[in-house]
Amino acid sequence: MKAPSRPSRPRLAPTPPPSRASFGPAAHNAWHLQDGSRVSFVRKARKPRPLLISDAAPQAVEIDLARTALLVVDMQNDFCHPEGWFAQKGLGTKAARKPIPMLQALLPAWRNAGGAVVWLNWGIRADKRNLGPTVQFKGKRTADGVGYAEHSPLDHGPSLVQGSWGAQVIDALEVAPSDISVHKHRLSGFWDNELDTLLRQQGITTLLFTGINTDRCVFSTLQDANFLGYDCVLLQDACSTPSPAYVTKGVLYIVQLLHGFVASAASLLRALPPASSASSSTSSISSRPKES
């Protein structure tokens, strides 16, 4: 005798996975919304990634790659290009271009190791309304000189205006999509802009300084960084200035004495882990030199 068939059980709809959304400027600094009913303030701790810079002075320093940013200061057309604002003033570009080869080697290796890069460039308002008389005079100096936001004889647009050719990073150095770009309108990159907020939201506590000029924008920014509580390391072979050698010597002395440490980009480059051991989420760019 055939057994009576059992009624088929109704099929249940699959349980949807719990919904989760994140809100924050970085993966390690975010709130998490769970199923629309609970918000978690618990941040995911970043694993320290220690790296020793052995030639730093007055002592060797150990940095945390996960909390360090490499600052590249003012490597832009109006300072470094042979047709830029400074070159057309007769100031030349030899000193301004000196850091290029080291940065071409260091930047890709630094990114491959998972390090953050911040480009800090002059980028002023076209109307100059936040530039005081001292700044405007020092940029022009004579009645017929070419000042901030004015046009040079070989016209590439208004000098150092945000969005102009002169405010752009030189072609010899590539800006990666993962990099952060910040405009400034003073020698110090921390004055009256968002640099401090951006760094803190990304969890950055240590800054490595490169670019131009060692005794001007690099030094002013480093001083303010120290005053704000950042760890500061000046990479002297990735910086340059047209000022006399004794000026750089004085800056290096003051940095070591009061503001932080002085090291070499060459030593940092040797200490970086190979690309194969770096985070796969870090984007890399070609290190092939380019001419601007």
Dump pLDDT digits (tens) for 155-170: 999 999 999 999 999 9
Rounded Cα distance between 188 and 191, Å, is: 6
Give the HSE-up count for residue 108: Cα atoms under 13 Å, Cβ half-sphere. 15
For the chain, helix (H) and strand (E) counts, in that order, are 9, 11
Rounded Cα distance between 110 and 108, Å, is: 5
In DSSP terms, 76 is beta-bridged to 169
Active-site entry in 78, 179, 184, 224: 184
Q: Is pTM, for the whole model, over 0.85?
A: yes
What percent of the chain shows pLDDT beyond 70? 88
Amino acid letter for position 128:
K
Task: Read off the tokens for 189.
Answer: 């990159």
Is 232 an annotated catalytic residue?
Answer: no
Each residue of 50-85: pLDDT tens digit?
999 999 999 999 999 999 999 999 999 999 999 999
Query: Long-range pairs for 140-147 at CB < 8 Å and ≥24 separation?
Result: 145/89, 146/85, 146/88, 146/89
Active-site entry in 74, 179, 196, 224: 74
Rounded Cα distance between 81 and 94, Å, is: 10
Is 217 an annotated catalytic residue?
Answer: yes
In the structure, what pLDDT confidence band is assigned to residue 20 with cuts at 50, 70 and 90? Answer: confident
Rounded Cα distance between 65 and 50, Å, is: 6
Q: 2 Cβ partners below 8 Å, 6+ apart? A: none
CB 120 within 8 A of CB 74: yes
Residue 79 DSSP SS3: helix
Active-site entry in 78, 179, 217, 237: 217
Q: 25 Cβ partners below 8 Å, 6+ apart? A: 201, 202
Note the pLDDT of residue 270: 97
Each residue of 91-125: pLDDT tens digit?
999 999 999 999 999 999 999 999 999 999 999 99
Rounded Cα distance between 281 and 283, Å, is: 6
Note the pLDDT of residue 274: 84
Is 155 an annotated catalytic residue?
Answer: no
Q: How much is the average pLDDT of 139-143?
A: 96
CB 220 within 8 A of CB 45: no
Q: 274 Cβ partners below 8 Å, 6+ apart? A: none
Q: Is 277 a residue whose pLDDT tops 60?
A: no
Note the pLDDT of residue 14: 64
Residues 279, 48, 194, 166, CA torsion sign: negative
Of 236, 146, 220, 208, the closest CA to residue 184 belongs to: 220
Mean pLDDT, the chain, rounded, equals 91
Tell me how many degrees the CA angle 272-257-197 measures, rounded to the nearest 5. 60
Q: Is 222 a residue whose pLDDT tops 70?
A: yes
Q: Is 248 a residue whose pLDDT tops 90?
A: yes
